[in-house]
Structure 1
Amino acid sequence: MHLIVGLGNIGKEYDGTRHNIGFETLDYLSGKKGITITKKEQHGVTGVYREDGQKIMLAKPTTYMNNSGLCVAGLMNFYDIPLENLLVIYDDIDLATGDVRVRQRGSAGTHNGMRSIIQHLGNPEFSRIRIGIGRPRLGSELVHYVLGRFPKSEFTAMENAVMEAAKGVDIFVKDGVDLAMNRINVRKKADQKKHAEKKPDEKKTAESNELEKSE
């Protein structure tokens, strides 16, 4: 069995907030797979689907973010899930808004949910998908920022990020974390390179327009 965990806070008041992008990714994924995430167990709610002969469990901790490890460790122990089959999806302020990165391991950084999971598992050697939410403006409080909602100008970027993260889950389950990193992370780099290569042309076009105006 694979365990895919999306991090967030339970409650309508937290719907759509930056800190709940892990939940939103699981909502999107469960819709694609035609299941619901409603079974209450181990301090969370879960839903299961089968694909390519494998059983995949989607889970949302219901403990609030800071105690997410209770749910993750509980499910891992109860179902005897190997650590290499765990994938956690969460928001990351160290990535630009809409960026998606798959990692095989790592520290918790500033994320309290990840800190709780590592503490309860006693091991940081598990895969994760980080979804960038950007950093707050200088002088703004981090807690208010992560519990705030995305402005309309970021809706498209975050919708694309959720879909990209869902692709990462599918690759992880079918082909493993290495291929997920290669495909998801490299795709983003390729998009950035393509965007950078367009800039000189855009600049040239702008200069041509200015020249035409002056003539």
Structure 2
Amino acid sequence: MYAVVGLGNPGEEYAHTRHNAGFMAIDRLAADLSVRYWKTECGSLTAKATIGGEDVVLAKPQSFMNVSGGPVKQVLSTYRLKPDRLIVVHDDLETPAGAVRVKKGGGHAGHNGLRSICDKLCTHDFIRVRCGIGRPPGKMPVAKFVLADVRKRDLEELEAECDEAAQVVDFIVRNGLDKAQRRWS
């Protein structure tokens, strides 16, 4: 079994922000898998599905991004999973907008959601599907950039990227991390 966690912030006011790329990708994956039932457990909205014969639990932590490590740890504990069975989908400033990248391990690069997960799990060794959002324009503060509603033309690009991230998760579960990294590194 895999735990597939999308990072974001709960609430309608954050639904169309760059910081919610993880939630958007999980929603797309759930739609692709015909998921109809979500429940609240482990501080998250969760749903069970199957990808290529492999069971997965989809999760969207309902804490704010900066403290998402607690709910992620609860999901792993509840489903008796080790961090090597965790796939985290998140926004990434260092990846160009529109690009999706896959990696395992590494630092958090200042991403507070990843920092929280690393701190709670006491490891950096989990799979990340990074949705590129690029750097803020000019001197715009990062927090304003990631939490502002995305303009319509940029939202279409972000949605397409999140669709691809959902496909990447499906590919990882079906074909393994090594093949995915060769394709989306």
Identity percentage of aligned residues:
37
Question: Residue 93 of structure 1 corresponds to which residue in structure 2?
Answer: 93
1:15 paired with 2:10, answer: no
Deviations 1:131-163 (A, max 9, x none): 111111232111111101222232332232112
Question: Residue 68 of structure 1 corresponds to which residue in structure 2?
Answer: 68
Q: How does 1:136-215 map to 2 (within 5 A)?
A: 136-185=136-185
Q: SS at 2:68's partner residue?
A: helix
Question: Residue 121 of structure 1 corresponds to which residue in structure 2?
Answer: 121
Larger radius of gyration: 1
1:57 paired with 2:57, answer: yes
The unaligned stretches of length 5 or more in structure 2 are: none
CA distance in 2, matches of 1:37, 1:166: 18
Deviations 1:152-202 (A, max 9, x none): 2323322321121111101111121111111233xxxxxxxxxxxxxxxxx
TM-score (norm 2): 0.95
Deviations 1:76-112 (A, max 9, x none): 1121112221100000111111111000111111211
Q: Could you say which structure has the higher helix fraction? A: 1
Question: Residue 78 of structure 2 corresponds to which residue in structure 1?
Answer: 78
Question: Residue 206 of structure 1 corresponds to which residue in structure 2?
Answer: none
Question: Residue 30 of structure 2 corresponds to which residue in structure 1?
Answer: 30
Highest relative contact order (Cα 8 Å, sep 6+), 1 or 2?
Answer: 2
Is the contact between residue 37 and residue 58 of structure 1 (CA under 8 Å) also seen in structure 2?
Answer: no
- One-letter code aligned to 2:157: A
- One-letter code aligned to 2:131: I
- One-letter code aligned to 1:64: F
Is the contact between residue 171 and residue 180 of structure 2 (CA under 8 Å) also seen in structure 1?
Answer: yes
The unaligned stretches of length 5 or more in structure 1 are: 186-215
Q: How many residues align?
A: 185
- One-letter code aligned to 1:119: D
The CA RMSD over aligned residues, in Å, is 1.3
Alpha carbons of 1:137 and 1:37: their partners in 2 closer, same or farther (altered >3 Å)?
Answer: farther
Is the contact between residue 94 and residue 135 of structure 2 (CA under 8 Å) also seen in structure 1?
Answer: yes
Q: Higher mean Cα deviation, 104-113 or 157-166?
A: 157-166
CA distance in 2, matches of 1:82, 1:48: 17
